[in-house]
Structure 1
Amino acid sequence: MVRSRKGLAGLAAAATALALALAGCGSGGSGDGTSGTRLSDDQQNLTYVLNYGCTSLDPTENFDNCRMQMSTNVFDTLVTLDSKSQPQPKLASSWTWTDPTTLQFKLRTGVTFSDGTPFTSADVKATFDRYIAMKSVLATQLAVVSSYTADDPTTFTIRTSAPTGTLLGVLSMIFIGQEAHASEDSYWAKPIGTGPFVISDFVANDHITLTRNDTYWGTKANLKTLTFKVVTDTNARITALANGGAQVVAGVTNDQIPTVREMSDVTFSQIPSYTYTFLWFQNNRAPFNDVKVRKALWQALDQEKIVKALLGETADTMTALCPSAAFGCVSPTNAPKHDPEGAKKLLAEAGYPNGFSTTIDYSVANTGYDQIIAAMISDWKAIGVTVAPKSDDQATFLKNIASPGDFDMIVNSNLTTTGDADFTLNRLYPCSAKRLGYCNAELDALLAKARQTTDLEQRKPLYQQIANILAEDVPGIGLFENNINVAAKKTVQGLNLTPTENYDWSTVYLTS
């Protein structure tokens, strides 16, 4: 049986509870609520072992978890999302829809970049230029923007081609860079932001070291240094936690949860996340240009057995193409059941009675995917389909899945960062995305209508129709949705876990 997932209200409550649990009591509290002494400033150095590393630091290029962790703490955005995915002021102090398609921002004054350069609306405009020129991560979301202007140093205006109820959520993903350098690749390779930390060192797929920005316009960070560390060996990750090599470890595996729970000086926390894992077919490449083939491969998978055996309580099976913790990510009513014999029949109808051979790509950066894919390959073999796994380094993998994608099948993880289905579905599955050779005009019309509708209750039935179309067309398969599984030393205070995993580390500090 698939475990139920929390909705947004449940996520907000879970996040609040975890914030209290990990913050302890007062400025000297430890993770378990007992008293402790706050370490001196020179000792406020924390290492966080994240799920996988960065090949680049450029957030305009991609928004994998590593890049987002860095960007959230080095940059600021115009708005930020609270635990209920509602927009709150950041670099913008306020905003107004002056008409249904015009959004005007008033910007904070007295804000500077970490190098002392004053922040103005010109920086926002130059950053928008960069994101739009890149035609990558937010291209679909920003396609609705018809123009934008820096009206004066503290006023920025966006005009859209149609009413867009999800625009503020998208803007929480745009990290504001400097006007003078926003068009330069070299700037984004080691960016300077207005956030609470600055980048002091970066080695691709190994570590990022951040230091406190003492000129930060807001509340200064408690930590002196923050290191995002990559440790690919799962046993070494737990060893680092045990011997003090790291104070926080993400992605605790199912088989290591009992070990972590028995560690007296460690707190283990778990909440649903907006992260999930999916399989894509290249829909315009034979044999995957036949929906019967795609449906057959879905029916052949015993997803629940695979997830239970390999992931246990760290994940739940899914049938949608975005995680149920996010608004609008509803399960289709027409998802197929595990049925190997039915899958064989579909293959025969598609002209492949003896099956076929193909490949499946995945990134070596995704820990444990080799086992998951091996189990999937076994299920496909049972219906006569031979699949060869292709493990790529992260850079090669990202290149292969860029528009237009170069793969037969891929397995990858994704993050519905805004907590809204629009962010994932309207980015990856409209005709304009060109990511996996899939196009359905009816789906496009529904996605556009859902985006333009501001009333949440009116949007819900639209997303049910969208989910059903995607389940019928099978451009891809939602495999499983992850829980956030974090182990932290009880000396770590002020860490607020969120479904996005993009944590604000400026509130965190260490005690004895």
Structure 2
Amino acid sequence: MLVRAKARARVVSCLAAAALVVALAACSSTDDAGGDNQVLRFAPQLFPVSLDVQQYPAEEAVQTTVQQALETLTVMKDGQPAPKLATKWESPDASTWVFHLREGVTFSDGKPFTAKDVKGSVERLIGLKGSLNPLLASITAVDATDDHTVTFHTSAPLGTLPSTLSLVFIGQGDKVGTDAYWQKPIGTGPFAIDSFNPDEKVVLSRNEGYWGDKAKVARLEILDMPEIAARITALDNNEVDVLTAIPPDQVAEVQGTDGASYGTGPSFNYYFIWFNQNNKPFDNLKVRQALLYALDIKSVVAGLFGDLGTVAQSPITQSVFGSTQLTPYAYDPDKAKQLLTEAGYPGGISVSMQWPLEGGPNIRAMAQAFISQWAKAGIKVEPLEKERATWLKDFGALKWDLNLQTNTTGTGDADFTLNRLYTCAAKRMGYCNKDLDAILAQARASLDQNERKTLYAQADKILWDDAVGIFPVDLKNNYVIRSNVKGFEMPVNGRPDFSTVSLG
């Protein structure tokens, strides 16, 4: 949906934001009319903490930046893997995948792209044992069979490998293991990274030797503007061309920006609240259910998100392959109290909930609304809003009772979320269900998409009934662009490809 903006005057109350914009304005201009001189300026909600996309494979800001310069073997289209650096692939037996690479591809420094680059990149990613490791753990070896053929060997059938590889960015195989390489990684994509200044900007230039369609603009600048007020002011002053992830309470503001257009679209993003089942009282199903029945999620979602959110009906959004439609828990505070009593807590419980500062649209307001509703059912929840670095550290160390955050299904395939987060081996929150593990293993092994979809529906139902978490809202993507921006598309994964964008 695209809504044409209307002219409207605005009084800007944030002097700090204005000062920041003025400073940035001195550094960037799009006055040049020709494509050879055009500069496209993007101010995301979050700025990349690093360009090492293998160290931060689930960080959207890192992925969005790096994907302009580095590419993957496959890309997801309509929920299915499609060719990118690989042109075709096959599974000759249950423990082997063979990928055939695109020929004539070079890195932006002129070095030829070969199977050794794939081997080095995948092996380094697996060795890091990061957040994607559960998706790649069954890979036992990666062989560069010849310059344009890569063979993956697995310990078990891995039908999801082609979709998982849409998240594995390929760098130069002999350099990906060094920290220096990731300061300014060299890739095969439509842009080349010129510079990365933390807390300021990333500058990329068109890769003139790109194997595909050349980028429309000569330069892309990704700017760090942490405050939404600064980003909107920059948009007003024609100092930024593209904004994404506009908070619901700021939508009317950007819709009133003269010379700009606002749009929305489906998303893989959603909110969840996890229970740490390693600790009491959340090792008790009835307690977890009580927290669900104590919430009027429908009213909170309507009040805080409007048309940018819908009440979730599954542990993954409806845009994801393998999602199903389940019945949300009803709002019933009396039942919540009854369940607490049955669980041995007639006087209620006292716990805490953490979430990251600026962790998503209206995250604080949603936390406060839920805490207020829980209190009415005898559930006292201490709010713990934390700086992102502290939150991440505590999250990984399981130093929390309740954890609120946004999440996304990076590949658009249910396996990415369900197998990565909810198996016994994942050890994310003390949850383990052997029946779920068996279903997910069967789905991962299958090459039959209809069978996989049926199995994921079963898995969704188990997670829902086990009350592993509270899934309040599926989010929509949104964006605003200056009226001279042409060719911009917001994909479901929320990571735009800026090579198709031009300035009219």
Tell me if TM exceeds 0.5: yes
- 1:241-390 equivalent positions in 2, closer than 5 A: 241-333=235-327, 335-367=328-360, 368-390=362-384
Instruction: Check whether the contact 1:121–1:154 (CA below 8 A) recurs between aligned residues.
Output: yes
Identify if the C-alpha distance between structure 1 residues 372 and 390 changes in structure 2 by more than 3 Å, giving closer, same or farther: same
1:241-293: CA deviation from partner (whole Å, max 9, x where unpaired): 11112111112232333333344521111111111111111111122111211
Instruction: Check whether the contact 2:140–2:154 (CA below 8 A) recurs between aligned residues.
Output: yes
Q: What is the one-letter code of the residue matched to 1:195?
A: G
Which of residues 4, 23, 46 is equivalent to 2:40? Answer: 46
Which of residues 54, 74, 96 is equivalent to 2:69? Answer: 74
- Cα distance in structure 1, aligned partners of 2:228 and 2:139: 44
- 1:90-101 equivalent positions in 2, closer than 5 A: 90-101=84-95
Indicate yes or no: 2:134 matched with 1:143.
no
Identify if the C-alpha distance between structure 1 residues 106 and 458 changes in structure 2 by more than 3 Å, giving closer, same or farther: closer
CA shift, 1:360, in A, is 1.4
Indicate yes or no: 2:425 matched with 1:432.
yes
Instruction: Check whether the contact 1:52–1:366 (CA below 8 A) recurs between aligned residues.
Output: no
Identify if the C-alpha distance between structure 1 residues 203 and 414 changes in structure 2 by more than 3 Å, giving closer, same or farther: farther
DSSP-derived class of the 2:170 partner? coil
- Cα distance in structure 2, aligned partners of 1:338 and 1:252: 29
Indicate yes or no: 2:80 matched with 1:86.
yes
- Cα distance in structure 2, aligned partners of 1:207 and 1:177: 22
Instruction: Check whether the contact 2:48–2:65 (CA below 8 A) recurs between aligned residues.
Output: no
Q: Tell me the equivalent position of 2:489.
A: 496
CA shift, 1:162, in A, is 3.1
- Percent of aligned pairs sharing the same letter: 39
Identify if the C-alpha distance between structure 1 residues 364 and 43 changes in structure 2 by more than 3 Å, giving closer, same or farther: farther
Instruction: Check whether the contact 1:251–1:484 (CA below 8 A) recurs between aligned residues.
Output: yes
**Mean alpha-carbon deviation: is it higher for 457-466 or for 164-173?**
457-466
Instruction: Check whether the contact 1:94–1:107 (CA below 8 A) recurs between aligned residues.
Output: yes
- Cα distance in structure 2, aligned partners of 1:85 and 1:424: 14
Which of residues 105, 111, 114 is equivalent to 2:99? Answer: 105
Instruction: Return the TM-score normalized by structure 1.
Output: 0.88
Instruction: Return the TM-score normalized by structure 2.
Output: 0.89
Instruction: Check whether the contact 2:276–2:429 (CA below 8 A) recurs between aligned residues.
Output: yes
Instruction: Check whether the contact 1:52–1:205 (CA below 8 A) recurs between aligned residues.
Output: no
Greater RCO (Cα-Cα under 8 Å, separation 6 or more): 1
CA shift, 1:309, in A, is 1.0
Q: Tell me the equivalent position of 2:385.
A: 391
Q: What is the one-letter code of the residue matched to 2:220?
A: L
CA shift, 1:433, in A, is 0.9
Identify if the C-alpha distance between structure 1 residues 492 and 303 changes in structure 2 by more than 3 Å, giving closer, same or farther: same
- Cα distance in structure 2, aligned partners of 1:130 and 1:351: 49
- Cα distance in structure 2, aligned partners of 1:123 and 1:409: 41
Q: What is the one-letter code of the residue matched to 1:474?
A: A
Q: What is the one-letter code of the residue matched to 1:223?
A: V
CA shift, 1:225, in A, is 2.0
Indicate yes or no: 2:231 matched with 1:233.
no
Identify if the C-alpha distance between structure 1 residues 55 and 394 changes in structure 2 by more than 3 Å, giving closer, same or farther: farther
Q: What is the one-letter code of the residue matched to 1:463?
A: Y
DSSP-derived class of the 2:203 partner? strand
Identify if the C-alpha distance between structure 1 residues 395 and 203 changes in structure 2 by more than 3 Å, giving closer, same or farther: farther
- What is the aligned length? 476
Q: What is the one-letter code of the residue matched to 1:415?
A: T
Indicate yes or no: 2:193 matched with 1:199.
yes
DSSP-derived class of the 2:104 partner? coil
DSSP-derived class of the 1:267 partner? strand
DSSP-derived class of the 1:74 partner? coil
- Cα distance in structure 2, aligned partners of 1:232 and 1:305: 29
Q: What is the one-letter code of the residue matched to 1:167?
A: L
- Cα distance in structure 1, aligned partners of 2:124 and 2:424: 23
**Mean alpha-carbon deviation: is it higher for 416-425 or for 363-372?**
363-372
Q: What is the one-letter code of the residue matched to 1:492?
A: V
Q: What is the one-letter code of the residue matched to 1:384?
A: G
Instruction: Check whether the contact 2:356–2:391 (CA below 8 A) recurs between aligned residues.
Output: yes
CA shift, 1:53, in A, is 2.1
- Cα distance in structure 2, aligned partners of 1:38 and 1:316: 42
**Mean alpha-carbon deviation: is it higher for 177-186 or for 66-75?**
177-186
The alignment's C-alpha RMSD in Å is 2.2
1:199-250: CA deviation from partner (whole Å, max 9, x where unpaired): 2333445533322222323222112222223433333322221111211111
1:130-166: CA deviation from partner (whole Å, max 9, x where unpaired): 1111111211111232322111121100122333332
CA shift, 1:496, in A, is 1.7
DSSP-derived class of the 2:351 partner? strand
CA shift, 1:410, in A, is 1.1
Uncovered stretches (5+) of structure 2, i.e. residues with no partner:
5-30
Q: Tell me the equivalent position of 2:400.
A: 407
CA shift, 1:493, in A, is 0.8
